[in-house]
Chains A and B, each alone.
Chain A
Amino acid sequence: MKGTPMVQAAHADLDGEIALERVSKAFGRVVAVDDISITIPGGSFFSLLGPSGCGKTTTLRMIAGFETPDTGRMLLQGLDVTYVPPSKRNVNMVFQNYGLFPHMTVGENVAFGPKIKKWSRDETRERVAEVIRTVQLEGMEDRRPGQLSGGQQQRVALARALVNRPAALLLDEPLGALDLKLRKEMQLELKSLQQRTGTTFIYVTHDQEEAMTMSDRIAVMKGGVVEQLATPRELYQRPASAFVAGFIGTSNLITLRIDRIDAGCFVMDLGDGERIMAVDPGVGTSESEQTITVRPEWIKLAAAASPTGERATHVSATVVDVVYLGSVTQLIVELRTGERVTVHRLNDEVGAEDPRPGDRVALQWAAEHSFVIGAREDVS
């Protein structure tokens, strides 16, 4: 990059795109981010999802410029910004506790960026008014942050960042401080705000439901690496690891011993004609035991539905626990192998009887619904 003249205009086709190339960051001996490469398409709602300590916040802070990667580089709209300080990067951040300036009014908070950038007075006034309208804070301009509710403070933080027309908006668990009801409202509002402004949103959260609700794409992180980067639908239906399967929604992990391979399916025979089947992912494995994941709602009680066929699992089980959850009833059943499985039975009929603990039930699910996520050794 040295000696290359600074390219001022962003590439039109890279508008808002951010790329991390083999980025690593360690704090002392703790590796927070371990050689990750991500491309975040411009104009998308992208989430970094994972438990605390997975490196998601460090990744975000590196994109913002508050941390410098030890190795690798970061591109913002095609320009290398790895060593550009936060004040010179065209991205803005919404902080966890908002970081609003308590001694300034809402209007002064929002106008902070434009004033530093020395926009003209008229332009600043117009843009501030426009953004305040966008986040629905009209009439609040002269209040101080301390006089606002949590949700309103959140909007001020959004407005203060968006007013600068950033290439990307970085959000660090911004809804963490709000109560559940407000959080749900803000989730929808954030998503609609992102779509209206067309700005790239990079959202850090540990709440899988939040990420699923809003994101176009999600990078699930664990231990400084990206476990899987996919759309919410793919993450749910095709988790790449036991960790992802467990982190996104409720999932059953079942050990599958490959007794034979039949018509492109792994088959485990349990005797009495019972079998567990999974489609061979075709990656060529030599392991004789694989872990499969099955979502609870894909498992049918045999009496209820019968997508029977050759490519389906048929097993019997004993009901251990029954919990009525409203739209579904959750059953915990024990397989012949001793493994426990969660089954969701849809309550779409008035007066339908749920099984009771101790009842024997027959379960079945299509082979396509057993998703092979790896050899047993990989799963801990």
Chain B
Amino acid sequence: MAAVSVQAKGTAPRRRRFTHWRYLFIPTALLLVFFVAPMILMVRMSVLRYPPNSTGGYTFAHYVNVLGDPIYRRIAVTTFMIATSAQVLMLAVGIPLAYIMAFKAGRWELILLLLLVLADELNPIVKIYAWRMLLGREGLINGFLMRAHLISQPVTWMLFGRFSVIITLATSWITYTTIPIYAAMKAIDPALFHAAEDLGAGWWTKARKILLPLAAPGIFIAMILVYIPMFTDFVTNNLVGGTNSYMLGNAVNDLILSTNNWGDGAALNFVLLVLSVVLSLIAYRLAKLNRIDV
């Protein structure tokens, strides 16, 4: 009797859980065909000796190439520096902007939100060309500085280098940084700031002890959405970057498309993927740690 009842208890929830697959069948199938299958092909490519042929057998040589080559380590450092700078820049703009939208904007709140969405809707190529016109050798900034006699030679480091890549990345992803932070802040009871002030807190204490800890889940979500995609970006560097802003995304791109080295390209890509997952998990864990149990 006991065994039967245990089994009955065990099957009931399993059957209930299984019914979800009815609704998830189509999305699951699509994911398998268009997402998991290419991924498996990519991973397979990275371990074939002569991809895409399997005649040469399997090897980890591509991983050894990619992880052993100091060039890739240097590129990884550059990528990390560029993505981190852009992220810090975005947080420096996004956190105050989100705060203003959530607590101070009043009837301007919706307008600011729409502008932010609109900024993302702009065609990225148009945006990038706008930066070129602004930052270039013959660009508006140089033109202004020359005419003002502040400089005698055009400043060249602004375009086709790390500076322009960081600026362009930061403006491309600002919407995705600001909106999750704004959403997290919107959930904070404004009375908490009054309470803190009543207890003697100035603006810096309020920001550090109340605003940032409570907005932290939004900040980490923003980082998952933004920081990781920046690691694999290659378009920005192709259009406004230069040799000192060559990123991991460019390396994968060039290995596969220019030098036909599919094995190394796939291996590097897989390393990037693992790195992204690790970063996501860290961010997710941090976000969860700060989640408030109400």
Contact = CB atoms under 8 A, between A and B. Distances in A.
Interface string A304-318: 000000000000000
B212 to A, nearest CB: 10
A86 B201 CA distance: 9
A102 interface: yes
A160 interface: yes
B191 A160 contact: no
Contacts of B214: 102-103
A95 interface: yes
B192 A101 contact: yes
B210 A66 contact: no
Interface in B190-229: 191-192, 194-202, 205, 209-210, 213-214
A357 interface: no
Interface residues of A, number: 26
B293 A146 contact: yes
B200 A87 contact: yes
Given A101-B210, A164-B199, A116 B293 contact: no
Contact of A101 (B195, B200, B293): B195
Interface residues of B, number: 21
A64 B210 contact: no
A203 interface: no
B293 A99 contact: no
Interface in A47-76: 64, 66
B126 interface: no
Contact of B200 (A99, A100, A116, A144): A116
Contacts of A101: 192, 195-196, 209-210
Interface string A85-110: 11110001101110111110000000
B294 interface: yes
Interface in B158-198: 189, 191-192, 194-198
B244 interface: no
B195 A99 contact: yes
B6 to A, nearest CB: 34
Given A86-B197, A87-B197, A116-B201, A99 B192 contact: yes
B200 A117 contact: yes
Contacts of A164: 199-200
B290 interface: yes
Given A64-B198, A86-B197, A112-B196, A103 B290 contact: yes
Contact of A86 (B198, B213, B292): B198
B290 A87 contact: no
Contacts of B195: 93, 95, 99-101, 160
Interface in A113-128: 113, 116-117
Q: List the 6 closest pairs (A to B, CB-CB), nearest first.
A: A99-B195, A113-B199, A146-B294, A99-B191, A116-B200, A102-B292
Interface of B: 189, 191-192, 194-202, 205, 209-210, 213-214, 290, 292-294
Given A87-B198, A160-B199, 16 more contacts: A86-B197, A87-B197, A93-B195, A95-B195, A99-B189, A99-B191, A101-B192, A101-B196, A102-B294, A103-B290, A116-B199, A116-B200, A144-B293, A146-B293, A147-B293, A161-B199
6 contacts: A95-B195, A97-B189, A101-B196, A102-B294, A116-B201, A116-B205
